[in-house]
Amino acid sequence: MSQINSIDLDNLAQNIKVWAKALGFQHVGICDVDLSQHSDHLKAWLDKQYYGDMLYFPERGMLRSDPAQLVPGTVRIISVSMDYLPPDASFAQHLSDPTKGYVSRYALGRDYHKLVRKRLKQLGDQIHTYCADTQFRPFVDSAPILEHAVAEKAGIGFTGKHSLTINPQTGSWSFLGELFINLPLPIDSPIADNCGTCTACKSICPTGAIVSDYVVDARKCISYLTIEHQGAIPEQYRAPMGNRIYGCDDCQLVCPYNRAAPLTQESDFFAREPLHGNSLLNLFSWDEQMFLRQTEGSAIRRIGYAKWQRNISVALGNAPTDTVISTVLHDKSKHLLAIQVMLNKPETLENPEKASQLANIARTYGFSEIPSLPDITMLIEHLSWALNTHGQSSLSRQQARLVRSIQKGLVRDA
């Protein structure tokens, strides 16, 4: 007979919550696998192609609303959250200084995927020790899961109008994870939506990406544009990006529930100095090897060197007039144009001497290897734009309003 039928599931559920908190999770809840109430919302989002370049959404789209198909035998999902807001987040200082690169605060520390997944695995192992018939599988942004819908149903928080999970006591600065499990544990009650008439996140979004309540058009979102988007960033979104070179936190910064958000106790999520408040020129000067060294263990590394350079070139185009910036942009453009000319000649890579010459020019720019022609073409266009717009931009009204709110204490500046 299965051990599942003989254990006290209510007691186990309580133990799971104790174990999860001992592992560093601030909130934990349990829900069933019926997410069918979210199917229409998901289908409408997919039909409008709000996913942009993230083609894994339509490829496994509706599977997200049916977790039991993802892991057969799953009857419950344990949803957890872990705070990540680092000490000394310095929101106002960095957003108000267009010469510094702004990195979304979740990415300033080590990559959360591994840490949260490791802790979830430890939680699953503890449950397995209690019940040997337990089968489980942990997920952290690694499968087609409606993680915010799961968190809401498990009582972790409610989904805000910016589409992120908000806990009424601790806000939204948290990572989510899920443990799919085959135990029919007692479920928790959902938390009702409590955004009310507030539209702070919608009005502050620099690009208008929150197109309606609870609906984000990723194609307009700065986080998407600087991380997931392949190729050139559409020109209409470049000036609104300001100095944001990886992600954006504006919609969370203005959320009233984040005014008293707790700071993380996980040292792995503390800000790493080379990425935190560094000047755009310093960041732009990194060659590919330096980029890989400074982003080792960071979520930033996965975007690659070319997109890193692309993002910073936009920020430099939005920076105040500076002859050093103009010179750097011009010199970088010159090297890229030389690479482009050689890559446009099919015989270049076939001729060892010319290929070696090309590799040397690429290294002069900062590439470790000969880059692709699409990457070079993309960077040339962005540097040309930056040269043409450099010194013409100023802090947007929205960004200036956000900074004033932070300075007045209306928004937490950790």
List active site positions: 141
Q: Nearest Cα to 293, choosing from 308, 277, 280?
A: 308
Burial of 86 (0-12, 13-18, 19+ CB in 10 A): buried
Q: Is 4 helix (H, G, I), strand (E, B) or coil?
A: helix
Q: Nearest Cα to 97, choosing from 276, 261, 235?
A: 276
Check residue 111 and give left, alpha or beta (phi > 0: left; psi -120 to 50: alpha): beta
Q: In whole angstroms, give the CA distance from residue 98 to residue 184.
A: 53
Q: Nearest Cα to 4, choosing from 107, 88, 75, 89?
A: 75
Q: Nearest Cα to 85, choosing from 119, 116, 108?
A: 108
Q: In whole angstroms, give the CA distance from residue 323 to residue 140.
A: 45
Please give the structure tokens belonging to residue 84: 């990540």
Q: Is 332 helix (H, G, I), strand (E, B) or coil?
A: helix
Helical ranges in 49-111 per DSSP H: 56-59, 67-70, 91-95
DSSP string for residues in 249-315: -HHHHT-GGGTTPPPP--GGGSPPGGGSS-BHHHHHH--HHHHHHHTTTSGGGGGHHHHHHHHHHHH
Q: How far is CA 27 from CA 70, 164, 196, in A?
A: 24, 15, 23
H/E element, 386:
helix 373-389
